[in-house]
């Protein structure tokens, strides 16, 4: 039995279009999936690596210490996570009057980032509710400012 010529044209077309469609789907998923992301401004951070090292040296010189507490709870009928941060100065006393901001993301979904300002709830303690519902390892990037001082820290917690 002889196969007609149009069959081979259709067969080649289906193979080519199928490959293009598969490639388009992979591109769409890689651009839009929250677990397949690069860190924001990664190139600028790499170029400014000397500034990152200088900030680490300032952090060490300041001697501030952080203690992170994460606790899942229901807040106003919504399941959220209370992110609490205790900040102590070099003498071990509570650090008051600071502005604390945090960026949090799950390591498996680094494209889903959550930002919050942590207001003071007691001397040296700053806390806020964040919608961190996913179970696993979370990374928290803190920036703490007081007067002309800036302290940065990256902490990981599994909860």
CA-angle at 132, arms to 131 and 137, nearest 5°: 170
The pTM of the whole model exceeds 0.85? no
- Residue 126 contacts residue 142 (beta carbons within 8 Å): no
How far apart (Å, rounded) are the C-alpha atoms in residues 98 and 46?
Answer: 28
What would the pLDDT profile of 75-115 be if each residue is shown by its tens digit? 778 889 999 999 999 999 999 999 999 999 999 988 899 99
pLDDT at 13: 95
Q: Which helix (H) or strand (E) holds 114?
A: strand 113-118
Query: If you average pLDDT over every residue of the chain, what do you get?
Result: 92
Q: What is the CA radius of gyration of the chain?
A: 24
Backbone angles phi, psi at 142, to 5 degrees: -100, 145
| For residues 127-149, average pLDDT | 95
Give the position of tokens 């293009």: 20
DSSP letter (8 states) at residue 148: T
DSSP assignment string, 60-103? HHHT-EEEEEEEEEEETTEEEEEEEEEEE-TTSSB--S-EEEEE
């Amino acid at each position: 039995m002889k196969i007609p010529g149009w069959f081979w044209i259709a067969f080649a077309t289906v193979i080519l279009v199928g490959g293009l469609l598969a490639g388009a789907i992979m591109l769409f998923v890689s651009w839009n999936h929250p677990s397949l992301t690069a860190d924001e401004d990664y190139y600028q951070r790499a170029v400014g690596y000397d500034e990152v090292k200088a900030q680490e040296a300032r952090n060490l010189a300041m001697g501030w210490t952080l203690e992170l507490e994460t606790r899942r709870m229901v807040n106003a009928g919504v399941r959220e996570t209370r992110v609490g941060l205790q900040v102590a100065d070099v003498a071990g006393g509570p650090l008051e009057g600071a502005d604390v901001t945090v960026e949090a993301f799950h390591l498996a979904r680094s494209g889903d980032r959550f930002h919050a300002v942590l207001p003071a709830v007691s001397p040296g303690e700053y806390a806020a509710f964040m919608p961190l519902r996913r179970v696993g390892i979370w990374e928290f990037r803190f920036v703490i400012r007081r007067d002309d001082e800036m302290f940065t820290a990256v902490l990981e917690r599994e909860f």
